[in-house]
Structure 1
Amino acid sequence: MGVQHKHDMKAAPALGDTTFGLLSLLVVDDDAVQRGLIAGAAGKAGYEVTEAASCAEGIELLRTRSFACVTLDLMLDDGDGQDVMKAMAEANYQGPVIVISGMSSERRRAARQYARSLGMDLLQSFPKPIDLAALRISLANLRSTMAGLPIVHSWGEVCGPRFER
């Protein structure tokens, strides 16, 4: 198996390199700081991360690539996270969604109901500011479930020979 470079993303397996426990994650958030924090937490949980700064960018990525999981802000500069959920359903996205939003718990619950109405699995809903340790644990548990690999947590980080650098 060859080495995958950042610029050669089209050659990546659809859900990531599950041989080494990596799964692909799309982070859709218009706040660069939040995207960076989420991407960092996901990387520590064993994910290959792609970032989208807008609804339009997230929707385009969902139409052209496959992801094992998507984290989604509900309020973006160019639209609503529900627009992205609708596009995910239209693209037959089968993976779980994690909502990370500064919106009220009622709006996050409404997003969960909307996702279910589209036949999607809204795995988790986190308020902003995000609890990064909780997010890492959630993502690591999901990775373990999807990849069938054992995980040892240390404050939400994935440990073991596959992840030691």
Structure 2
Amino acid sequence: RWYTAVQGPPEAAPGTCLIEVVAAAGRFSAGSRRGAPLNLLIAEDDRALRQMLCWEFEEMGYRVITAASCGDAISAVGDHKVDIALIDYNLPDGVGTDLLRTLRLAAPYLPAVVCSGRASRGIAAEVGGLGTARFVAKPVAATRLHAIFRNLLD
């Protein structure tokens, strides 16, 4: 199925593009069984930051799936089960809240943290209106994110 979700080209109205949601049933879960590693999607366009977060969360025991854009994240969740998402607000092909809305078409209760280096009350309010989602201003320590993830999953 196709959904209008983020800014970009193809055969869509100006300012939008069509994104295929390739998530099959069972690719998401609200939380893993006790003792099983959580599958964390990190959608971050800054390669160095994405790699550092990947290493830190793998050290904490997460299975990490990385994406550099909204499109990459949507493709990744078509291939992997995701328990929780860490999403940069400003991605090259859209904004993090639009990505989260698209992911939630397939997984309505997917918990997520949306981050931005350009924090504003407007962004925080938008994220706050998305249910099991939290907004965090960058820079933020991985240990703080881990605590927020645990809070969202409880």
Work out whether the TM-score is over 0.5: yes
Give the root-mean-square deviation of aligned CA atoms. 2.7
1:72 to 46, 71, 87: 87
Sequence identity (%): 24
Q: Residues 40-55 of structure 1 correspond to what in structure 2 (within 5 A)? A: 40-55=55-70
What stretches of structure 1 move > 6 A for 4+ residues in a row?
none
Q: Match of 1:28?
A: 43
For residues 20 and 73 of structure 1, what CA distance do their matches in structure 2 show?
28
Structure 2 match to 1:136 = 146
How high is the TM-score relative to the length of structure 1? Answer: 0.64
Deviation at 1:42? Answer: 1.8
Unaligned runs of 5+ in 1: 1-12, 146-165
Contact 1:21 / 1:46 at 8 angstroms: preserved in 2?
no
Secondary structure of 2:147's counterpart equals: helix
Cα deviation, residue 52, structure 1: 0.5
AA at the equivalent of 2:121? E
Q: Would the aligned equivalents of 1:30 and 1:53 in 2 still touch at CA under 8 Å?
A: yes
Higher helix share: 1
Residue 105 of structure 1: which of 120, 123, 126 is its match? 120
The normalised TM-score by structure 2 is 0.68
The answer on whether the counterparts of 1:23 and 1:68 sit within 8 Å (CA) in structure 2 is: yes
Compute the displacement of 1:128 (Å): 1.2
Structure 2 residues not aligned, in runs of 5+: 1-26
Distance 1:137 1:86 in 2: 23
1:24/1:142 Cα in 2 relative to 1: closer, same or farther (>3 Å)? farther
Higher mean C-alpha deviation, range 63-72 or range 105-114: 105-114
CA distance in 1, matches of 2:80, 2:141: 28
Per the alignment, in what secondary structure is the counterpart of residue 115 of structure 1? coil
Mapped to 2, the partners of 1:108 and 1:14 lie a distance apart of 25
Cα distance change on mapping 1:55 and 1:108 into 2, 3 Å? same
Secondary structure of 1:86's match? helix
The CA distance in 2 between the partners of 1:104 and 1:19, in whole Å, is 34
Q: Distance in 2 between matches of 1:95 and 1:86?
A: 10
Deviations 1:34-62 (A, max 9, x none): 21222223223321000001111112223
